[in-house]
Structure 1
Amino acid sequence: MKEYQTITEISGPLVFVETDEPIGYDEIVDIETPSGEIRRGQVLEAASGYVAIQVFEGTDGIDQDSSVRFLGETMKMPVTEELLGRVLDGSGDPIDGGPDIVPEERHDIVGAAINPTAREYPEEFIQTGVSAIDGMNTLVRGQKLPIFSASGLPHNELALQIARQATVPEEASDEEGEESEFAVVFGAMGITAEEANEFMDDFERTGALERSVVFMNLADDPAVERTVTPRMVLTTAEYLAFEKDYHVLVILTDMTNYCEALREIGAAREEVPGRRGYPGYMYTDLAQIYERAGRIDGREGSVTQIPILTMPGDDETHPIPDLTGYITEGQIYVDRALNSQDVSPPINVLPSLSRLMDDGIGEGLTREDHADVSDQLYAAYAEGQDLRDLVNIVGREALSESDNRYLDFADRFETELIDQGSHTDREIDETLDIAWELLSMLPKTELNRIDEELIEEYYVGGAESEPVEAAAD
């Protein structure tokens, strides 16, 4: 163990130390203040003759008389199956009043990159119980599917709903038909104490905590701690998935707070900023987090990610959602207009996308009509949305009977399929049954994206099968 008393500069969360030996990147550091308090840090930059250390607990009380000890190892997460049901802080220390963690192993939080040739293609359905996701933007095991939200929108409620409802349906269990073990690892970064209490009340009230591991980094915790929180979360998830055969759903909120911490550290290091002041390496940094989702050939478990971010100024071209969209396999949009109409959850399905949906809804996983129904719903809802713009100009009386049916369809689509409340858990069959009821508002001849055999099996009547003549004609 190497110990120095050669601190030369303190800048924000960073401490700069002169050294006379090579120091490893990401090496863990203990800093002892003159009062005897120990602060934990991590080497952020190592050069000839000096190192830059990011201090997790903040630099208050650290001065040039403080001692710096380099521990010769990188940061590790103590992992065990007994973590399920526990609540930890952003650095992985218990905060639930329970006993100390007795780890089975200690894993490096940086993780090991998955060999591309060892990746299994994600194609197995995860049921969230949310119709706008299951029916329209299906989540698949091993996928990374972010939620794009904005300040003041109920993305936390949506995160909690997914955390307590998500499950692997029996049809998607293993070959022996046994139900797969399912777990949730929840990481909160930069949230308020009020939000943290809401999260914990919900986890405890619904019993979701029993199958979950919760990491909490609060807004008044050091920003530097947020840079390790998602890595602690994913290290725990990888252990449960690839060594204990769990199917793990990782929920990270809010990635915007994580990126703000990166910007703060970059400013303290006086780095040349990239877009809007964020570090130029933010794309690489986010990719290191998001790409830890997946499945590995020969392993039963999987890691699926739902990162949540708030778009500053509702701007989807902002660097955080922009870069996230490049890395991940789609996005779920939480919409301000739908939220103002008390639609819950206010998911706008038109700009939303799950690029792996078609692979996750094959026969034997959901229903054979799922893909066709989803396509038809998209087409009909988009038509209804376009007609809403036209109504603002010419009035509803000027539209044909067929156009009015599409307008009614769009209204009922939002109030019956999208709006389900934050405590309603829908099976995929229930979602598709509602979808068929809505599509049956339209004549059969309008359902041009669905096979005739499926129409004969599931169409529930209500609209004439003949095309409706335009009123204007």
Structure 2
Amino acid sequence: MKEYQTITEISGPLVFAEVDEPVGYDEIVEIETEDGRTLRGQVLESSEGIVSIQVFEGTGGIDRNASVRFLGETMKMPVTEDLLGRVLDGSGNPIDGGPEIVPDERRDIVGEAINPYSREYPEEFIQTGVSAIDGMNTLVRGQKLPIFSGSGLPHNELALQIARQATVPEEEEAGEEGSEFAVIFGAMGITAEEANEFMDDFERTGALERSVVFMNLADDPAVERQVTPRLALTTAEYLAFEQDYHVLVILTDMTNYCEALREIGAAREEVPGRRGYPGYMYTDLAQLYERAGRIEGKEGSVTQIPILTMPGDDDTHPIPDLTGYITEGQIMMDRDLNSQGIEPPVNVLPSLSRLMDDGIGEGLTREDHGDVSDQMYAAYAEGEDLRDLVNIVGREALSERDNKFLDFADRFEEEFVQQGYDTNRSIDETLDIGWDLLSNLPKTELNRIDEELIEEHYREEKSEAVEVEAE
């Protein structure tokens, strides 16, 4: 381990130092300041004679007299099953007042790509207890399903609800061993107020016992935000593939992560890409998202729910745009639904889960799940179109059939999507509500559902009550 006092430049979060021997990319660095503080950093770029170092704690207090030590290894995360129930900062240090972590092993935070040949196709249902997700955009084990939100929308409340309620009902019913469920919560660039809300909720509901929380606050260095999700995912991979947990990783807010990428790119004077973001942002995000999945022969799984706030509610912005290319769908939160008091304000029409068809149906949920979802989607979409028409011609100009679809759209939002953040619905409860709503439509309009299922689940009394009310 060599020590240098050859700092030549300090620029934003970067320190440049001269060296007389090769230094490895991503190598961990310790910088000792004149006042005795030791700061950690990582080699960002290495060329002959000079290296650039990104400093996790920020470059405040560093001058040209500081000592630079290269440790000869990349950053590693100390992992152990005892991490469950712990709260760590964005660099992986305990901040909950508990004991120091005694690791079973130390793992490189960059991780190893899952061999495509060894990947198992995701098809086991995860129950979040949220009808708009379970019923219409089902999450399956090993999937990466982001939440696209906007500034001021309650995505944090939805994230906490999923963290509290997520289960694997199939294995719970079978009583299988090795089906423990764990949540890894990685927060990047959140405010102290948000952090307190998260921790209060975790402690109040007891969800912390099966969780590992990583907290990077808004006043923490932006550089640390690049490390936080990698520490979280390294912990998730250990629990999933070594300890057989089914791990749900919630990362919020990916927009803050990408802003940190842009800040560092500007400090390095890189040629910017779209809207000033680095040209390699797609690759960088893929390195994170593709760490979700299942491995053949392993009991555990890593499922990801990244959350991002779309700047200006623009879904063509580079961050949601690139995220959509990499992931298997998206859950869209809607400002209009939020203003109506719908909780959670999930708009199911632009939402999508590309793996839903493989995670529902006989043996996974109920055999009517797919048909009910398709029929509700079609009926709600028609009701939405009719709302636009009503604004022009008025409701009196609509036919009796059109009025029923208009009523369906209203009741779908008020009874199916609306459930509050403390209600945990099983998939059976979700589908029963769906049948209650569909039974308000004539049987002849249920053209996406098998006739046998209609005979089994259609509620005649609902249909008759609606007709009496109309008269």
TM-score by length of 2: 0.97
SS of corresponding position for 2:460? coil
Q: How does 1:412-427 map to 2 (within 5 A)?
A: 412-427=411-426
Match of 2:163 in 1: 163
Asked if residue 102 in structure 1 is aligned to residue 102 in structure 2, the reply is yes
Distance 2:175 2:205 in 1: 30
**CA displacement, residues 164-187 of structure 1 (integer Å, 9 cap, x when unaligned):** 000000x24597744710000000
Matches within 5 A, 1:45-84: 45-84=45-84
The number of residue pairs the alignment matches comes to 466
* Equivalent residue number for residue 330 of structure 1: 329
- Equivalent residues in 2 for 1:190-229 (5 A)? 190-229=189-228
CA offset at residue 218 of structure 1?
A: 0.2
Against the structure 1 CA distance between its residues 343 and 174, is the aligned structure 2 distance closer, same or farther, given a 3 Å change threshold?
A: closer
Task: Give the C-alpha shift of residue 41 in structure 1.
Answer: 0.2
Structure 2 CA distance for aligned equivalents of residues 265 and 147 of structure 1: 25
Structure 1 180/380 Cα, relative in aligned 2: closer, same or farther at 3 Å?
A: same
1:78 Cα deviation after fit: 0.3
Q: Alpha-carbon deviation of 1:362?
A: 2.8
CA distance in 1, matches of 2:278, 2:261: 7
Aligned position for 2:186: 187
* Cα pair 1:251 1:307 within 8 Å, conserved: yes
Are residues 1:408 and 2:407 paired?
yes
Match of 1:251 in 2: 250
Contact 1:172 1:365 in 2 (8 A): no
1:148-202 CA-partner distances (Å, limit 9, x unpaired): 0000000000000000000000x24597744710000000000000000000000
Q: Is the 8 A contact 1:443 1:463 kept in 2?
A: no
Flag the 1:19–1:174 CA change in 2: closer, same or farther, 3 A.
farther
**Partners of 2:175 and 2:115 in 1: how far apart?**
28
Q: For the residues of structure 2 that align with 1:375 and 1:285, how far apart are their CA atoms?
A: 35
Find the aligned partners of 1:58 and 1:464 in 2 and give their Cα distance. Answer: 65
Residue 241 of structure 1 corresponds to: 240
Corresponding residue number in structure 2 for 1:471 = none
Q: In 1, Cα distance between the equivalents of 2:216 and 2:182?
A: 20
Which amino acid is 1:379 matched to?
A: A
Q: Which residue of 2 aligns with 1:24?
A: 24
Runs (5+) with no aligned partner, structure 2: none
Aligned to 2:5: 5
- How many angstroms apart in 1 are the aligned matches of 2:403 and 2:223? 55
CA distance in 2, matches of 1:104, 1:302: 20
Distance in structure 1 (CA, Å) of the matches to 2:248 and 2:181? 8
The 1:464–1:130 alpha-carbon spacing in structure 2 relative to 1, beyond 3 Å, is: closer
**Residue deviations 1:253-304, cap 9 Å, x none?**
0000000000000000000000000000000000000000000000000000
1:324-358: CA deviations, max 9, x gaps?
A: 00000000001000000000000000000000000
- Counterpart of 2:39, as a letter, is R
Paired amino acid for 1:27: E
Give the letter aligned to residue 236 of structure 1: T
- Which digits, 9 at most, give the CA deviation of each residue in 1:104-128, with x for residues without a partner? 1000000011000000000000000
- Listed as ranges, the matches of 1:323-472 within 5 Å are 323-462=322-461
Shift of 1:436: 0.2
What TM-score results when the alignment is normalised by the length of structure 1?
Answer: 0.97
| Partner Cα separation in structure 1 for residue 434 and residue 461 of structure 2 | 14
Does residue 1:129 correspond to 2:129, yes or no? yes
Report the AA paired with residue 421 of structure 1.
G
Rate the CA distance shift 1:125–1:376 in 2: closer, same or farther, 3 A: same
- Matched residues in 2 for 1:213 and 1:104: separation? 16
Percent identical pairs in the alignment equals 84
C-alpha separation between the residues in 1 aligned to 2:173 and 2:412?
34
Indicate the residue corresponding to 1:298 in structure 2. 297
1:344 partner SS: coil
Amino acid across the alignment from 2:124: E
Determine the C-alpha separation between the residues in 2 that align with 1:172 and 1:335: 33
1:138 matched to which residue of 2?
138
Q: Could you list the per-position Cα deviations for residues 366-398 of structure 1 after superposition, in whole angstroms to 9, with x for gaps in the alignment? A: 000000000000000000000000000000000
Per-residue CA deviation, residues 385-416 of structure 1 (Å, 9 max, x unaligned), is 00000000000000000100001000000000
Q: Counterpart in 2 of 1:263?
A: 262
The residue matched to 1:405 in structure 2 has which SS? helix
* Cα contact 2:178–2:244 (8 A) shared by 1: no
Residue type of the alignment partner of 1:196: A
SS at match of 2:435: helix
User: Pairwise mapping of residues 307-326 of structure 1 onto structure 2 (< 5 A)?
Assistant: 307-326=306-325
Q: Does 2:283 correspond to 1:284?
A: yes
RMSD: 1.3
Please say which of residues 258-267 and 178-187 is displaced more in the overlay: 178-187
- Quickly say closer, same or farther: Cα 1:37–1:178, change in 2 above 3 A: closer
SS at structure 2 position matched to 1:299? coil
Kept in 2, the 8 Å contact 1:4–1:67? The answer is yes
Structure 2 SS opposite 1:404 = helix
Give SS of 1:199's match: helix
The alignment partner of 2:223 has SS state of helix
- Offset of 1:463 from its aligned partner? 6.3
Q: Secondary structure at the match of 2:137?
A: coil
CA distance in 1, matches of 2:116, 2:291: 12
Cα contact 2:178–2:299 (8 A) shared by 1: no
Post-superposition offset of 1:363:
1.0
Q: After TM superposition, give the deviation of residue 35 of structure 1 in Å.
A: 1.0
Q: How far does residue 36 in structure 1 lie from its aligned partner after superposition?
A: 1.2
Alpha-carbon distance in 1 for matches of 2:451, 2:186:
46
